[in-house]
Amino acid sequence: MSRTVLITGATGTVSTALMNALRGAEVNLRALVRDESAAGGSRERGAEVAEVAEVFAGDLDDARSLPPAFEGVQDLWLLTPNGPRAPENAMNAVWAARQAGVERVVRLSVVGAAHDAPNRSGRLHALSDREIERCGMRWTILRPHWFMQNLLNEAGDIAATGTFSLNMASARIGMIDVRDIAECAARVLLDGPDRHHGETYTLTGPRSLTFDEVAGELGLALGRPVTYLPVGDDARRKTLLGHGVPEWIADMLEEYARAYVSGWGDFTTDTLAGLLGRPPRDIAGFARDHAPAFTAAGDG
């Protein structure tokens, strides 16, 4: 009998990749979105979700909206948005899952989640991780490193000027392709509820990279030079706020940047290879696969 998997954060980058990874598998996919008609404000992404999953409207901010989506679910993919209410969002989902008799939670946490993490995101996620560990259901926690797909936020500048600016100085980061995170999550879900119970997996790419090295790989994929321009925290914050990023998120990203500059992110693990039986995707492959996003209209 096929298991029903409820995907939260269904229109986001990781959850969308997870649904693609589960496409064709013997599971019933159910997607939780805030607005069923527009799938959280993106009709295009909502249409993609509706192609592979049954769509339910519900808001992790509102526990009363959740029970219909959780009814008849065996496995919960729990992804909460970054923000000060993240532990509350996770709490609401866990409560709805317990009331509905969900058997297992597979939760997306963050790299280095701990009560003494050097960033508020890591500390908040540590609270939710601890709740999952004591929730009474089977559980697995994934803690992925910095997403290669974060580089797509710089695609406009790279396409227009061949440069991108971050407040990361010469930090080295074991960054990971989101598609690999999704495939690890799919592996855990498809292996059944017992095999990965009680495990916390820290997922990274194959090597630590500086952003100068990232620029070099992007340049090779695009066939033109790409340059990384380090900037200070104040300049980066001004840019983020100018793009409408909330102050809380800008502050959180600054904390991450400072941690990475201190060497906090300079590590890799072999966990992904153990789960998937292959090495993680490298930045070169990411750059080739996403080259069109970094290319100005009319180029190439």
**pLDDT per position as a tens digit, 247-290:** 999 999 999 999 999 999 999 999 999 999 999 999 999 999 99
Average pLDDT over residues 51-58: 88
pLDDT for residue 40: 43
Residue 36: what pLDDT? 66
Question: Which stretches of the chain are DSSP H helices?
Answer: 13-22, 43-52, 67-70, 86-100, 120-133, 155-161, 178-190, 211-222, 233-242, 247-261, 271-276, 283-289
pLDDT value, residue 38: 46
- Report the first-to-last Cα separation within the chain, whole angstroms: 49
Residue 52's pLDDT band (boundaries 50, 70, 90)?
Answer: confident
122 vs 117: CA distance, rounded Å:
5
Q: Are 118 and 264 in contact (CB under 8 A)?
A: yes
Q: Give per-residue pLDDT as tens, 201-252.
A: 999 999 999 999 999 999 999 999 999 999 999 999 999 999 999 999 999 9
Give the H/E segment covering residue 75. Answer: strand 75-78
What CA–CA distance (Å, rounded) separates 237 from 60? 28
Write the CB contacts of 209 (distance below 8 Å, at least 6 apart in sequence): 172, 173, 174, 175, 283
- CATH classification for the domain delimited by 3-145+177-203, as one of 3.20.20.140, 3.50.30.30, 3.40.50.720, 3.40.50.10440: 3.40.50.720
Q: What is the mean pLDDT of the chain?
A: 94
Q: What is the pLDDT of residue 298?
A: 42
What whole-number percentage of the chain has pLDDT above 70?
Answer: 93
> What mean pLDDT is predicted for residues 108-136?
98
Q: Is the pLDDT of residue 44 over 60?
A: no
Range in 48-62, 141-155, 197-211 the model is least confident about: 48-62
Residue for token pair 């995170």: 181
- Average pLDDT of the residues in 2-21: 95
**Per-residue pLDDT at 51:** 73
User: Tell me, what's the pLDDT at 41?
Assistant: 45
Query: What does the alpha-carbon distance between residue 100 and residue 95 come to, in Å, rounded to a whole number?
Result: 9
pLDDT at 297 over 60: no
pLDDT of residue 192: 87
Per-residue pLDDT, averaged over 130-135, amounts to 97
- Burial code (b: 16+ CB inside 10 Å, e: under 16) for 18-46 equals bbebbeeeebbbbbbbbeeeebbeeeebb
- Which pLDDT band holds residue 35 (cuts at 50, 70, 90)? confident
Residue type present at position 62: D
| Banded model confidence at residue 37, pLDDT cuts 50, 70, 90 | low
Percent of the chain with pLDDT over 90: 90
Does 64 have pLDDT greater than 90?
A: yes
What pTM did the predictor assign?
A: 0.94
* CA 9 from centroid of its chain's CA atoms: 10
Q: What's the rounded mean pLDDT across residues 108-125? A: 98
In this predicted model, which residue has the larger pLDDT, 295 or 41?
A: 295
